[in-house]
Structures are given as structure tokens and as C-alpha cells.
Structure 1
Amino acid sequence: MSSLKYFTAIVLLISWFLSIQAEKSSKSCEFQTIFNFGDSNSDTGSMSAAFYPAIYPFGETFFHEAVGRASDGRLIIDFITKHLGLPFLSAYINSIGTTYRHGANFAAGSSTIMRQNKTIFEGGTPFTVDIQIVQFSNFKSRTGKFFTQENGSSYRKHFPKPEDFSKAIYTFDIGQNDIADVISKVGKEDSHVLISNIVEYFSTQIQSLHFYGARTFWIHNTGPIGCLPVAMPIHNAQNNQTQVAGYLDQNGCVNYQNDLAKEFNKKLKDKVVKLREQFLDTSFIYVDMFSAKYELISNANKSGFVDPSKICCGYHEDGYHVYCGNKKTINGKEIVPGSCDDPSKYISWDGVHYTEAANHWIANRILDGSFSDPPLPISQSCQITH
């Protein structure tokens, strides 16, 4: 073969290979099922069903009633399911009006990766991520019986098929409450060790899901906890620390709290890379929620929002905190805070959680893969890249 013909053949072969790869990478995964694990950032009704019913004005914007979401409307997980053409995810433990044909949501408010020595009234939760995965295991085994038992045919339309579990996308949004716990222990325990332990345990739980058949993971890192309005000095009694240079950043966020979140995120990303190397049959997508949320906070006014330190619902003044939907007597006066006139202008709903408008803004940034590693849109996240 002449050099020219040889060169032409090589070029054609490379072009063919690249076209095959391009076709493969652009192919939608067509997810029919989604399983979510997390805390209040993606809880669609677990805590409301388990302990105390949701109260108005939560849910006022979209649902026009309280539906167990820590927002005035939809959460990021709701926009994820919408983007994938799936219905809202029912909370696993919510027995009223639920459907699980396209998956289930195991997320619960206050949840953590590590178990905490706190009661529910102290901000603790029984639904740590390992418990959520036990719930998933029970869900998978119990629903699978409907497809093997002769008398289960009437129930099958309500649950995923056994083969759907390996084709599903498994989403995670958890870690914020663990970082809050680390913050509370600063100066008492080694935060670097605590964070390493959290990430290591998180990895163990992800591997448990792989054992149960999960093959596509969409894992959010934790957001800028130091930018939550309740963390900002403007909503707390002033102290000497706020006057120290470097305590706050240009957006009024508490630097050391964000630094702990960044350390967690770096270690989590490193762990995700190692999981990719360990499980070659699985797609692990790491999503930089910190950067997406911080971008919104940094550009609040340009994006049509008010100052990111402002809170739509709740009373947070002079060190007193009356959270949205609650009431409290302060200095002899009963405080019953309502919501703001236009939640769509606010980033923060209640000082801790985001408004529907902010959740929508963030979802639009992450779903196309702009903040993902590897940079795949969620609809193509089943593609394995090693």
C-alpha cells in the first residue's frame, strides 16, 4: 500500500471511530427511574410524613399548599425529574397519594452522612444515609416480589420493574448537615479528621448501592454553607470575630465555614475519582453545587434577585430566630413571621433553604453538565468515561 493510500485509510478509520464515539456520547440515557438520597434540600415529604406535617406558607408558590418541601415551591430534585420527563418523586415513607413506578425519594430533612448523637428535637434525624440505603434495599426486594409472585400482577404498575434498578439514575444531595456539625466542633476536635471520616463513610454507602445494582450516580457536593443568611453576622448578634480581617468574603459569607465545605468537596471529588477507577462498569458524575450556588449569590442583582442575605420567610434579627411557619414571644411580643410579597425575587426562602426561583436558576446551570465532572448533561450521565 502506498503512503498516500495508507494515510487516507488511517484518516478514514479515525473519522469513523470519532463519529461512533460522538454518536455514543450524544445518546440520551432515557432514564425511566430515579432514586434520590439526601437531606432537606431534596426531601419531598419524608419528614412531613414521619414526624410533623408541613405547614403553610411552605409550598405557597407552586403547590399552593404545604407538601413537605423546605421551600416555597419546587426543589432542585423536582427540576431534575421534570428535565428527565419523569413525575415528581414520592417520599418513600409517605403512604398517602404515592406512586413509585418511576422511582422513590429516600431523602429526609436534617439527614446526615454520619450518625449524630442528637434527637429529632435537637436537629437530629433517624434517616442517615445508611438508613436511607437500607430503606432502598427493602424497597427493591419487596417490590421485586410483585414481579415473581402470581398474585402480584395487580401491583406491578405501581413499582419499577426489576430490570429498571440497574438502568436508573441514583442522585445524592447530602453533606451540608455534616459540615454544620463539624463547624460546631471547631476548636474542640480535628476538623480535617472529621471531614475525612465523613467522606470515607459516604464512599462506603455508595459502594453498598453499587452492590445492590446501581450503575449511574449523580453526586452533588455541598453548597456554600457560610453563605446561608442565618450564618451571616447581619442576622446574628454582633461579636468580635466579625471585625477580624478575612472573617467575611466580598459577599458577606463566613469564610471559615465555606472553607470547611470546600475541604469536604475536594475530598469527595478525589473519592469519586477513585470509585471510577475501582468500578469500571459504573458512571460516577460529580456535580459542583458549591460553585453553581456561589455564582448565583455573587451575581444576585444581575440575575434579578435581591441581596442574597435577605430572607423571604422568618424573623432573624438581633440574634433572635423565629423560623418560617413558627411563632415565638420575644420581649413580651408574639412574633408570627409571614413570607415576603414576592418569593421569586429572593434566593433564600427561610434563611437555610432556597426559594423555588433560586432552585430553578441553579438547576438550569447544572443539568447541562456545565458544573459536572466529567462534563456530561444529566440526560447522558449513564455514559461511562474512564
Structure 2
Amino acid sequence: MNSMRLIHILWCFNLYVACTFIQVSSEKNGNSNSSKCVYPAIYNFGDSNSDTGTVYATFTGVQSPNGISFFGNISGRASDGRLIIDFITEELKLPYLSAYLNSVGSNYRYGANFAVGGASIRPGGYSPFHLGLQVSQFILFKSHTKILFNQLSNNRTEPPLKSGLPGPEDFSKALYTIDIGQNDLAYGFRHTSEEQVQRSIPEILSQLSQAVKQLYNEGARVFWIHNTGPIGCLPFNYFSYEHKKGNLDANGCVKPQNKIAQEFNKKLKDQVSYLRRKLLQAKFTYVDMYKAKYELISNARSRGFVSLLDFCCGSYTGYRINCGTKEIINGTVNRNPCTNPSQHIIWDGIHYSQRANQLIAEKIIHGSFSDPPVPIGNACF
């Protein structure tokens, strides 16, 4: 009897030691809730994949029915609902980002969004708001908010933080997200050859590095950088591509375009590694959006999605009808989107639906597709 009791005591003691070891190890690795990063703000740079209202505010280019699945009205987003950046802000318990150029109803206390639909890393292309200009806007924003913050502090008319302005110390503690590069490739595919696009990649990424260094010099320290997705899987590119035998994969994606996107991503990852070595006070997380998106596309049927080419709003078959544009063709008015956007990976032929964005966001925010493999809540360590 005594021996059995002794065995039981030893077993409980070993279990206690093991649990204590696991808890301590978890805390050292930054996995406990108490050791999560606290980001006072997010500053985002990119294209339409993360534009929360700049194109709408500047060009009124994002019309209804965009936003119907979540916001209920025009949200400035090229989707039926939330974008990946919206799910990132939700994960970090921060408000949705106001577009920098959207003057109506904006609040910049918790960051700002400089992304613009159509933007590229290099000047030219589909939009004048290239990455370098977005960074210049950020520098201007930072300078002006610091001046206004100090004025409010000196006048003491109201607490500066209640004015919708970030505190000067917030900029070095903020998260800097970058999701851009797709349009550099897309514009090249439309206006040059695939070989020229491939040769342009080093120069494109050199300009991205310059932009990151500018942000670093302004105090940015935590970077979350997305690579570019499988551009050859977008229906718009499928319908505008001259099909050749063997150039489509099992999912109907254009293989040459995806191959160049993968080459872009490989060099981008190398560039991020270079920045880690040069900017020693910064933390960089490289996020494999290509893999996250392509896995979703490959498993579309099992996730309840219809065919990839069957997008929800607009059309590229026979006649080009942009989402939100009213067209009368053969007496039929073509304007309304599909009845169930959540069954479609692609919303309008180019941009992802809210449900697809949500599933992709769930994949990336926990670190499964990141280098290093850390959750976004631990990217500052």
C-alpha cells in the first residue's frame, strides 16, 4: 500500500514539474497572453488589397455594391466586406484604419492607411500613388500630427489623444504593414513581356528597400511584410491571357504569371533578410501570402466555394462589366452581384471576397505562413 502511495506522489510531482516547465517555456517564447505586443497604432502601405478608402475618397472609384456583406454601404474597399487588413486590426483589438486622404469621419488616433488601389512599388503603372509617395505622405502626416499634438498640449484646450491624433511616442511602437507589388507585375504583364517583368524585379525590390529604410529612419521598428499572391489565379488575368497549351495548372491558374510571382517572392524574402542584417533595431516578419492564398484556391471545393472563375460581381466574358457599373446588353441590365458572395473566393475578378479574406487572415495572423513563424501579436519580440 505504501509503495503504491509513493508511486502516486512521485507521478503527481513529475506532472507538476512538467507543467511548470511548459508554462515557463511558453512565456519565454512569447506565447503567453501577458507577453503579447501592444501596438498603439498600425500604419499600412499597399494597393487595393488593403485600401480602406483612398481610391474612393480621391477618385470615387469604389462604388456600390462593394461593402454589401458587412458595412451595408460603400466602405471604400474593393470587396463585398472586410479586407485582410481589417481582420488584422480586429485581431489586435484596434479600430479599422481610416484612409489617409479620406477627410470625412476619419480618426487617426490608432494609425492611418496609406494604401491606394492600383498602387505599385515603382512610379508609373495604374496609380500615381506609388510606395515612395505613400511613405512621403506618412512622413508629412507624422510631422503635422506632432506639431498639432504639441499645440494642443501647450494650449491645454482638450486632451491631445482625444483629438484623434496619435502620440509622438506611438510611431516607434506601432506596427508597419506592407502589402504591395502585385500591380508592378500586373502592369508589366499588360504592357511588356514576361521576360521584361522578370528582369525588372531587382529594381522593384530595391525601391521597396529604400521605402523601408525611410520608415526606419522615421522610427519604424516593427515590420509585417506580405509577399504577392498568385496573380495568375485572378479571373481577370485568366480571361485577358492568351492561352497556350500547358500554360494552365490544375486550378485554372496561368502558370507563367504565377512562376514570375514566385520568383518575385523569393527575391523579396532575400531582401527582407538583407534588411534584417542592416536595420538591427527593427523586427521583420515576412508573410507568405502566396502560399496562404494558393492553398485556399486549391481547396476551394472542400471549403464550400464555387469555381474560381465564377466570381461574384462584374463580368469579363463577352463584355467587360466592372463591379458597380450599370450596363445594358441586349436589353438586359447587368449590375447586381451574385446572391451569396460567401460562396466565391473572388469578388470582382481581381479582389477577394470577405469570406476568402477572413480565411486567409486566419492562416497568417497566427504565424503559420511567416518567417519567423510568429503570430502577429508577437512580431515585436
TM-score by length of 1: 0.87
Within 5 A, what are the aligned runs for 1:240-319?
A: 242-245=243-246, 247-318=247-318
Aligned residues: 354
Deviates more, 1:106-115 or 1:52-61: 52-61
- Residues 35, 103 of structure 1: 8 Å contact kept: yes
Q: What is the CA deviation profile of residues 366-385 of structure 1, one whole-angstrom value per residue up to 9, with x for unaligned ones?
A: 000000000000000011xx
Counterpart in 2 of 1:62? 70
Deviates more, 1:50-59 or 1:298-307: 50-59
- Residues 172, 218 of structure 1: 8 Å contact kept: yes
Counterpart in 2 of 1:355? 353
Q: Secondary structure at the residue paired with 1:35?
A: strand
Within 5 A, what are the aligned runs for 1:166-245?
A: 166-187=172-193, 190-232=196-238, 235=239, 242-245=243-246
TM-superposed CA distance for 1:19, in Å, is 4.7
TM-superposed CA distance for 1:24, in Å, is 5.3
Alignment-mate amino acid for residue 90 of structure 1? S
TM-superposed CA distance for 1:52, in Å, is 1.4
TM-superposed CA distance for 1:53, in Å, is 5.5
Q: Distance in 1 between the 2:110 and 2:369 partners?
A: 26
Q: Distance in 2 between the 1:152 and 1:103 partners?
A: 23
Q: Secondary structure at the residue paired with 1:314?
A: coil
TM-superposed CA distance for 1:56, in Å, is 1.2
Q: Distance in 2 between the 1:153 and 1:362 partners?
A: 44
Moved over 4 A (4+): 18-22, 332-335
Q: What is the CA deviation profile of residues 104-159 of structure 1, one whole-angstrom value per residue up to 9, with x for unaligned ones?
A: 0000110110011x5xxxxx212111111111101111111133231375344211
TM-superposed CA distance for 1:196, in Å, is 1.1
Q: Distance in 1 between the 2:295 and 2:378 partners?
A: 24
Q: Distance in 1 between the 2:376 and 2:93 partners?
A: 12
Q: Distance in 1 between the 2:210 and 2:322 partners?
A: 35
Q: Secondary structure at the residue paired with 1:99?
A: coil
Residue 346 of structure 1, aligned match among 344, 347, 350:
344
CA gap of 1:152–1:231, structure 2 versus 1, over 3 A, is farther
CA gap of 1:126–1:53, structure 2 versus 1, over 3 A, is same
TM-superposed CA distance for 1:273, in Å, is 0.4
Unaligned 5+ segments in structure 1 are 1-14, 119-123
Within 5 A, what are the aligned runs for 1:70-109?
A: 70-109=78-117
Counterpart in 2 of 1:147? 149
- Residues 182, 195 of structure 1: 8 Å contact kept: no
CA gap of 1:152–1:349, structure 2 versus 1, over 3 A, is farther
Q: Distance in 1 between the 2:43 and 2:290 partners?
A: 22
Counterpart in 1 of 2:51? 43
Alignment-mate amino acid for residue 217 of structure 2? F
Q: Distance in 1 between the 2:249 and 2:146 partners?
A: 51
CA gap of 1:261–1:146, structure 2 versus 1, over 3 A, is same
Q: Distance in 1 between the 2:67 and 2:119 partners?
A: 21
Alignment-mate amino acid for residue 263 of structure 1? E
TM-superposed CA distance for 1:190, in Å, is 2.8
Residue 23 of structure 1, aligned match among 12, 24, 28:
28
TM-score by length of 2: 0.88
Q: Distance in 1 between the 2:63 and 2:377 partners?
A: 34
Alignment-mate amino acid for residue 249 of structure 2? D
Q: Distance in 2 between the 1:37 and 1:197 partners?
A: 19
Counterpart in 1 of 2:14? none
Q: Distance in 2 between the 1:134 and 1:281 partners?
A: 22
- Residues 327, 334 of structure 1: 8 Å contact kept: no
